[in-house]
Chain A
Amino acid sequence: MIKTNYLSSVQKKSLIGLLALTLLVSIAGTGLHAQSLTGPEIIRKVDGAPVPETLNATLTMKLVNEKGEKKVRKLEAWKRGTESSVMVFRKPDSVAGIALLKTVAEDGREKTWLYLPSLDMTKEMGQESENRNFMSSDFTYEDLGSRNVDEYTYSLLRKENSNGETAYVVEGKAKDPEKAGYGKIKSWIDGKNWKPKKVEYYDREGKLIKVQQNSNIEKVGDYWVVKKMTMKNKGTGSKTTLTWRDYRINRELPEGVFNPQNLPKLVEEG
Chain B
Amino acid sequence: MVNLKNRFGSMLVVSALALILVFSAGVISYGEKETTREPGDGLSMLIVDRTGSFATSMGTEMLARNLTDQLSANVRAKREIPEEFGGKDPFDIVFVVSKRVPQVWVLTGFVPYKAPEDKRKALKGVHKLANKVYNREGSSREVVGIVDDLAPAAWASYLSRYGWLGRPERPQSN
Interface residues of A (CB under 8 A from B): 65, 94-95, 98, 112, 114, 116-121, 123-128, 130-131, 133, 135-136, 238
Contacts and interface: CB of A to CB of B under 8 A. Distances in A.
A118 B75 contact: yes
B47 A126 contact: no
Nearest to B136: A136
B151 interface: no
A16 B172 CA distance: 113
B54 A133 contact: yes
B128 interface: no
B131 interface: no
Contacts of A114: 54, 57-58
Contacts of B77: 116, 119-121
Contacts of B68: 118
10 contacts: A114-B54, A118-B64, A118-B65, A119-B61, A119-B64, A123-B49, A123-B52, A128-B51, A130-B53, A130-B54
Contacts of B56: 130
Interface in B19-55: 47, 49, 51-55
Interface in B49-100: 49, 51-58, 60-62, 64-65, 68, 75-77, 79
Given A118-B75, A130-B138, A130-B139, A123 B57 contact: yes
Given A98-B61, A130-B138, 13 more contacts: A112-B54, A114-B58, A116-B77, A118-B68, A119-B75, A120-B77, A121-B77, A123-B79, A125-B52, A128-B51, A130-B139, A131-B54, A136-B58
